Amino acid sequence: MLLTRYGFREWMIITLAAAIPAAAGVFFGWWWLTALAVVVWTALASFFRDPLGRRPATADERDLVSPADGLVSAVLEVPEHIATGGPATIVRIYLSVFDVHINRMPCGCEVLGTVHTPGKYLDVRIEESAKVNESMVTRLRSAGGVLLGIKQISGKVARHIVCPVAAGQRFARGERFGMIKFGSTTELVVPTGELEKVCVSRGDRVKGGVTVLARLKRI
């Protein structure tokens, strides 16, 4: 288990802030204060954890793995989406503050670009938040030319989307590409016409880079 580089600033601040009461506890013999500082540091730093050794659940490149850890909060179809240029199926994942917040690519792909949309910061447990909150859509093209996307959505607490990608970059299936800091929502957007099947349902727990959310008809 590592701490992600995307949270370097935050976990350094957490470490420095925790070091002061921890040192004071040692100096004055207030061991309860030292213990409390360690517990608080562990709780906050764990948000930026980056699990090692994750592998897709299947070897079939048509299988799109989850871009995030969390709970499937919706599976729906829309007539038009900016990522696909047409009808799309969306698998929406709710991330609580206890989930790993690293985002991963669903398949081997090339980044076509990103679209940032300013918006509100409603609680992500409210369905409307997925439509009106600040968001970042990363448009992708698979090796076989299928257009798809990942949408990162801010929440009431999560107000910092990290997406340091650029057009032309290539990623492997399950590779890290960013995160959203604190509770949030991530969506996998797939063109409905290219979809063979959706492999999850609302209420399922999924693991980023591992759980298969959907299967394409072609790579």
pLDDT tens digits for 73-131?
A: 999 999 999 999 999 999 999 998 889 999 999 999 999 999 999 988 887 778 888 88
Judge whether 206 lies within some domain: yes
Per-residue pLDDT, averaged over 128-144, amounts to 92
Judge whether 158 lies within some domain: yes
Per-residue pLDDT, averaged over 16-33, amounts to 90
| 111 and 84 co-located in one domain | yes
188: left (phi over 0), alpha (psi -120 to 50) or beta: beta
Per-residue pLDDT, 1: 56
> How much of the chain, in percent, has pLDDT values that exceed 90?
63
Q: What is the 3-state secondary structure (H, E, C) of 14-49?
A: HHHHHHHHHHHHHHHCCHHHHHHHHHHHHHHHHHHE
Judge whether 134 lies within some domain: yes
Per-residue pLDDT, 219: 79
For the domain that residue 87 is a member of, what is the CATH number? 2.70.70.10
Per-residue pLDDT, averaged over 48-74, amounts to 94
Per-residue pLDDT, 131: 86
Neighbours of 192 (CB within 10 A): 15
- Per-residue buried b or exposed e for 165-190, using 16+ beta carbons within 10 Å of the residue's own CB: beeeeebebbebbbbbbbbbbbbbbb
Judge whether 201 lies within some domain: yes
| 197 and 128 co-located in one domain | yes
Judge whether 55 lies within some domain: no
Can you tell me whether residue 10 is helix, strand or coil? helix
Per-residue pLDDT, 66: 98
User: Between 19 and 5, where is the model more confident?
Assistant: 19
| 45 and 90 co-located in one domain | no
Mean pLDDT of the chain: 91
Per-residue pLDDT, averaged over 162-166, amounts to 94
| 120 and 193 co-located in one domain | yes
| 109 and 207 co-located in one domain | yes
CB 175 within 8 Å of CB 105? yes
**Domain limits for position 32:** 2-50
Tally of domains in the chain: 2
| 76 and 41 co-located in one domain | no
Judge whether 57 lies within some domain: no
Residue 158 pLDDT greater than 60, yes or no: no
| 69 and 168 co-located in one domain | yes
Judge whether 56 lies within some domain: no
Record the tokens describing residue 16, joined without a space.
Answer: 């420095």
The beta-strand segments (E) located in the chain are 2-3, 49-50, 63-65, 70-81, 86-95, 102-104, 109-117, 135-142, 147-153, 161-162, 170-171, 176-180, 184-191, 195-198, 205-206, 212-216
Mean pLDDT lowest among 8-12, 46-50, 97-101? 8-12
Per-residue pLDDT, averaged over 173-182, amounts to 90
| 198 and 95 co-located in one domain | yes
| 19 and 70 co-located in one domain | no
Residue 155 pLDDT greater than 80, yes or no: no
| 132 and 189 co-located in one domain | yes
Per-residue pLDDT, averaged over 40-52, amounts to 85
Catalytic residues: 184
| 44 and 124 co-located in one domain | no
Provide the residue type at 192 as one letter.
T
Judge whether 176 lies within some domain: yes
Per-residue pLDDT, 2: 79
Write down the pTM of the prediction.
Answer: 0.90
Helical H runs in the chain? 8-28, 31-45, 129-132
| 123 and 169 co-located in one domain | yes
